[in-house]
Amino acid sequence: MVAPIFIVGTGRSGTSLLRAVLNAHPNIYITQEAGFFLWLPRLRRAKTAEAWLRGYQRTAAGALLGPLAVQARPGAPRTEAVELVTAMMREKAARFGRGRFGDKTPMHATRLAEIFAAYPDARVIHVVRHPVPTVVSMMEMPWASNSALLNALMVRLAVEAVTPFADRVLDLRLEDLLQSPRPALERVLGFIGEPWDDAVLNHSERAPFAEDPRLPWLIDAERPLRPPGAERAVPLGPRLTRRVEAICAPVMARYAYAPWSAPGPARPWSVAEDLSAGLRFGLRTLTLGRPEQDDPEAVSPEAQLRWLFSLNPSLSIPPERRALPRIPPRAAGSV
Rounded to an integer, the average pLDDT of 135-162 is: 95
Residue ranges of domains in the chain: 5-314
CA distance 123 to 87: 17
The string of pLDDT tens digits covering residues 241-296 is: 999 999 999 999 999 999 998 877 677 668 889 999 898 888 888 888 889 999 99
CB of 59 closer than 8 Å to CB of 301: yes
Q: Which helix or strand (DSSP H or E) is residue 123 part of?
A: strand 123-128
The string of pLDDT tens digits covering residues 62-88 is: 999 999 999 999 999 999 999 999 999
The pairing of strands 28-32 and 5-8 is unpaired
pLDDT at 333: 41
CA end-to-end distance (rounded Å), the chain: 26
Q: What is the pTM of this model?
A: 0.95
pLDDT at 334: 47
pLDDT at 335: 44
Other beta carbons within 10 angstroms of residue 30's beta carbon come to: 29
CA distance 102 to 195: 17
pLDDT at 232: 63
- The CATH code for residues 5-314 is 3.40.50.300
The string of pLDDT tens digits covering residues 8-32 is: 999 999 999 999 999 999 999 999 9
Identify the CA nearest to 238 among candidates 262, 273, 269, 261.
262
CB of 102 closer than 8 Å to CB of 31: yes
* Whether residue 97 has pLDDT greater than 50: yes
pLDDT at 51: 97
